[in-house]
Structure 1
Amino acid sequence: MEWNATLYDHEHEFVSRYGRGLIEILNPKAGEKILDMGCGTGDLTHQLFLMGCEVTGIDASESMIGKAKEKFSDIRFICADACRFELNEKFDAVFSNAVLHWIKDQDAVLQNVYTHLKQGGRFVAELGARGNVEKIRTTLKNTLREHGFTNQADISNWYFPSVAEYADKLEQHGFEIRLMEGYDRPTILQSLEKGIVDWLEMFGSAFFRGIQDTEKVKILNEVQDKLKKDLYQEDFWIADYKRLRFWATKERR
């Protein structure tokens, strides 16, 4: 998937804003070596840097890493895949906000995180949970089918597990869970006029591959119109987010 780093910063800053609560769970200490996995344009990486951490940010998107380096030149950023990166060092903690649900091979990414943690190191992350943006996804897929784009409607590019499912995954890979919770997080979108359209432009671009721009615009507006009854409240567009966050530690196998 191609990421638009400028659109991400301008219209979807809520991703980083909500991630600050995850930093509180991480509870980083000055001098700790921390890996921000899926760092995007680097805002949360920068927060960790300001707290005195020796932080490295990685992301698979060249666009995101380029923007992060442009914004925060004092921080080490690396373009790398979360499943396959190889760094010749161990970290006190791996931090990951709103990234894991984009990764198909969960076994590979969890194994890689485990490998790069020091013994007793912390893995603190948040991802979409089962039912995340269900109304948006269902409406988009139904609308694509109505327009004859059945292949696009059948795309499955997110992984939204239940709490129990992901707890099992972590434990299978040698992690001991210290905290795990699922919760609803209705999220106000930035644009008052095009909240759903902008959200789909940013996060749902894979569904529109092979669709002409004129048809794409028509579908985007139709999806937003259909969702207005449920997701437009008090002059704001609200995405129906459900989240899962956890704190786990690397234990001996």
Structure 2
Amino acid sequence: MGTEFIDLFNEWSDSYDRTVQGKDREYREVFHDYDRILNEVSRRVKGTVLEFGPGTGNLTLKLLESGCQVKAIEPSVKMIEKAKEKISDFEIYQGDFLHFPEVNSVNGIVSTYAFHHLTDQEKEKALRRYGNILPSGGKLVFADTAFVSDDHKTYMIQRAEENQYHNLARDLKTEYYTTLPVLEKLFRNCGFHIFFQQLNKYVWLMDATKK
């Protein structure tokens, strides 16, 4: 992951929580059932968990409340500041999906609304590294926007444009959103059993187990 999205994350930090709460009309469908999505991710892991892209710390709080020990990796300094306002005495390391401190004895890896910031090539590189970190039976649970096909992605972009959701349409065009067949191949090639569950019109749960 390059630095192309860091300015966006820093700029978004002040309004992110309002957005996920449905206050931004353009992104309301993207974050529909946001709390349920976080719960679906957090309930599937236990023990020591590596979290990528915690943002303002919403999933982190769920993980800590469930008894997990969390090591969080976030690229945005502004997001880290917001997360620390919610979670005292908790260390969030600056880094990203590909650049982070060495970790040991991790039972699970989680992320929400962030994996699309990697190109497909970078996704594969990251998944191979995670396969080396996790033990056999370890869990990788992501929730992110994905599409069943390229045609479906095109349709959703056109739908956003017709609704005059220009920011959403631009994001769907310029960020690295991919399709379920591509994701399935990447996970399987990197040594994971994977299944998908749709959580809203945009977001899919990716529940992967290390072989």
Number of residue-to-residue matches in the alignment = 183
Are 2:136 and 1:134 equivalent residues in the alignment? no
2:174 matched residue in structure 1: 156
1:111 aligns with 2:111: no
Give the distance between the partners of 2:172 and 2:66, measured in 1 at CA. Answer: 44
What SS does the aligned partner of 1:36 have?
strand
Change (3 A) 1:248 1:155: closer
Which amino acid is 1:36 matched to? E
Residues 39 and 62, structure 2, Cα contact 8 Å, conserved in 1: no
Asked if 1:87 is matched to 2:135, the reply is: no
Do the aligned partners of residues 138 and 66 (structure 1) sit closer, same or farther apart at CA in structure 2, a change above 3 Å counting?
Answer: same
- CA offsets 1:44-94 (integer angstroms, 9 cap, x no match): 101111111111121211111121122202322111111222323131001
Q: Is 1:249–2:185 an aligned residue pair?
A: no
TM-score (norm 2): 0.74
Contact 1:55 1:76 in 2 (8 A): no
Supply the AA of the counterpart residue of 1:103.
L
RMSD: 2.9
- 2:41 and 2:143 in contact (8 A); partners too: no
Please give the secondary structure, in 2, of the residue aligned with 1:67: helix
Normalising by structure 1, we get a TM-score of 0.63
How many Å apart are 1:17 and its aligned residue?
1.9
Partner SS for 1:56: strand
Deviations 1:191-244 (A, max 9, x none): xxxxxxxxxxxxxxxxxxxxxxxxxxxxxxxxxxxxxxxxxxxxxxxxxx3222
Aligned partners of 1:137 and 1:10: how far apart in 2?
A: 20
Tell me, what secondary structure is at the counterpart of 1:90? Answer: coil
Structure 2: which 5+ runs fail to align?
23-30
Partner of 1:34: 49
The gaps in structure 1 that reach 5 residues or longer are 145-151, 186-240
How many Å separate the matches in 2 of 1:242 and 1:142? 15
Partner of 1:5: 13
Larger Rg over CA atoms: 1
1:67 aligns with 2:82: yes
Give the partner amino acid of 2:157: E
Moved over 3 A (4+): 13-16, 135-144, 152-155
Residue number in structure 2 paired with 1:78: 93
* Structure 1 equivalent of residue 25 of structure 2: none
How is 1:12-51 mapped onto 2 (pairs within 5 angstroms)? Answer: 12-13=20-21, 15=31, 16-23=34-41, 26=44, 28-29=45-46, 32-51=47-66
Deviation at 1:36, TM superposition (A): 1.5
**Going by fraction, where is strand more abundant, 1 or 2?**
1
Partner residue of 1:122 out of 139, 151, 164: 139
Deviation, 1:22, is 2.1
